[in-house]
Structure 1
């Protein structure tokens, strides 16, 4: 789904910086695989919050429908990470993001992947069009 060549920091439009924590490491001294997904989720939540989505009150909200992570280089505590996002497709009810993880100061991604959101009505759980104000932000960042 995502272009495998999007390994460069310059391929991404939005960044969120976060430090790793000691307990993010697994028994081998690398970031645990689950943490990569948690960090990607934190990146997207921050992006959408800044775009104006109210996760607790909006009637139309995004649900994660698919996610993928390709591990390229090990990262570990005490690395500081720049998480990159680029919107690669805005459909009627869904959005596909390219995501990547960079060590602070590095140009090539340590991990890449994608995340798919489907927008649904909070009450009925039925797919709904991506809200206009979110669509505008996403089209700007694609």
Structure 2
């Protein structure tokens, strides 16, 4: 029985990614490791675009502490992939991002990923409270 899938309306921000010839594996579809690369790119591209954290030189950095992905259908070159991003939870020092990967133009996610960052002091690697401007930017990604 098919699992329910999120649609584009479930996400607050989108970015298009171009697939590459090398993304496909011997089975003719995008390798699962590439899905994770796209998830990582979606989150970090948004963080950089928000302008609220100085990646890679700022005093606060995000470390991945958890990730997961549910695959509904294959993706692969030459299809473009739209990455939908939303924030599911904002903690004191952590953020749970959710990313839907959509074949370009499709309404239902081909894959749904979870990606948790804990934000730490660059030098001590100890958790720190999210800076207020960054917290405000993250709140704009929360979808009811």
Give the TM interval when normalised to the shorter protein.
over 0.9
Q: Specify the alignment match of 1:139 in structure 2.
A: 139
Q: Specify the alignment match of 2:113 in structure 1.
A: 113
Unaligned runs of 5+ in 1: none
Unaligned runs of 5+ in 2: none
Q: Which whole-Å CA distance do the structure 2 matches of 1:103 and 1:34 have between them? A: 17
Q: Specify the alignment match of 2:75 in structure 1.
A: 75
Give the aligned length. Answer: 139
Q: Which whole-Å CA distance do the structure 1 matches of 2:104 and 2:13 have between them? A: 15
> Does the CA-based 8 Å contact 2:5-2:108 persist in structure 1?
no
Q: Specify the alignment match of 1:18 in structure 2.
A: 17
Q: Which whole-Å CA distance do the structure 2 matches of 1:76 and 1:60 have between them? A: 35
Q: Secondary structure at the match of 1:137?
A: helix
Q: Secondary structure at the match of 1:62?
A: strand
Q: Which whole-Å CA distance do the structure 1 matches of 2:84 and 2:7 have between them? A: 10
Q: Secondary structure at the match of 1:16?
A: strand
1:46 paired with 2:66, answer no
- What TM-score, normalized to structure 2? 0.93
- What TM-score, normalized to structure 1? 0.94
> What is the Cα-based RMSD across aligned positions, in Å?
1.1
Give the superposition deviation at 1:123. 0.3
Q: Specify the alignment match of 1:66 in structure 2.
A: 66
Q: Which whole-Å CA distance do the structure 2 matches of 1:12 and 1:71 have between them? A: 17
Structure 1 segments, 4+ long, off by >3 Å, are none
Q: Secondary structure at the match of 2:96?
A: strand
